[in-house]
Amino acid sequence: MNEKKFTIGYWDSIFNHFSSTLKSLGTNLPSVSEIASSSRDPFRVLISTIISLRTKDAVTLEASTRLFSQADTPSSILSLKSEEIQNLIYPAGFYRTKAKNILSVSRILIEQYDGKVPSKRELLLALPGVGVKTANLTLNLGFGIDAICVDTHVHRISNRCGWIKTKTPEESEKALEQIMPRKYWIPLNEMLVSYGQQLCTPVSPHCSKCPIQGDCPKIGVTKTR
């Protein structure tokens, strides 16, 4: 990794290239961002991120919208039975476990946090079903707090581009914090999730359509389109 190249100008150009490519494809925001853009409510962001784990974006958006049409606060969630939540969020992956976690999270928020989502990462991580990705995305989109949210797309693309050399999303988060200006910490996830779904796909990325293909080392990529 050549750290010298990671100037502010370098990141400006990456973000400009990727976002104009996505715009030209008419790409929608990822589901949780879509939900956050209509209301910056940390509770909605937290719950829809829990629903989004191992679930396609379109399913997450529909499942979250169905749930929030019935209940969108911790107390209204507690008025639902687990089976009702399951039905509302189905076919999200692991919908039974998620329904249980959504109920437990709502109960803890009421009992310990006056019905509000805490804005501290360690408190979020202590909630059932909340891992690093969910905690960081809630801080990002719910509270506007800088945090790099690393999911599978962010981890994969950052390593492919040679920005970092890491084995796990947790390592990637730390490594990206070292080389990326803070102003990009929040938008990084949103942009790379869309980029990873549309262009830099897990298998056979669309490098021929990518504006940085001449500069990208494509580390670990064996087949491209």
Residues in CB range of 15: below 8 A, 6 or more apart:
184, 187, 191
Marked catalytic residue, from 133, 146, 218, 223: 133
Marked catalytic residue, from 72, 81, 151, 218: 151
**21 makes contact with ligand SF4 (CB under 6 A):** no
In degrees, to the nearest 5, what angle opens at C-alpha 215 toward C-alphas 57 and 222? Answer: 60
149: left (phi over 0), alpha (psi -120 to 50) or beta: beta
Q: How far is the CB of 159 from ligand SF4 (least distance, A)?
A: 10
Taking the C-alpha atoms of residue 29 and residue 198, their distance in angstroms, rounded to an integer, is 12
* CB-nearer residue toward ligand SF4: 145 or 221: 221
Return the residues of window 130-169 that contact ligand SF4 according to CB under 6 A.
157, 160-161
Whether 64 and 95 have beta carbons less than 8 Å apart is answered as no
* CB-nearer residue toward ligand SF4: 142 or 196: 196
Looking at residue 182, the DSSP 8-state letter turns out to be G
Q: How far is the CB of 222 from ligand SF4 (least distance, A)?
A: 11
Looking at residue 87, the DSSP 8-state letter turns out to be H
* CB-nearer residue toward ligand SF4: 108 or 212: 212
Q: How far is the CB of 109 from ligand SF4 (least distance, A)?
A: 39
Return the residues of window 93-122 that contact ligand SF4 according to CB under 6 A.
none
Whether 174 and 184 have beta carbons less than 8 Å apart is answered as no
In 3D space, the residue among 130, 45, 55 whose CA is nearest the CA of residue 95 turns out to be 55
* CB-nearer residue toward ligand SF4: 146 or 215: 215
Judged by CB under 6 A, the number of residues near ligand SF4 is 14
| Cis amide leading into 91 (omega within 30) | yes
Return the residues of window 184-203 that contact ligand SF4 according to CB under 6 A.
199-200
Q: How far is the CB of 187 from ligand SF4 (least distance, A)?
A: 17
- Residue 41 a catalytic site member: no
In degrees, to the nearest 5, what angle opens at C-alpha 101 toward C-alphas 171 and 95? Answer: 95
- Residue 151 a catalytic site member: yes
* CB-nearer residue toward ligand SF4: 107 or 218: 218
Which positions touch ligand SF4 (CB under 6 A)?
157, 160-161, 199-200, 205-207, 210, 212-213, 216, 218, 221
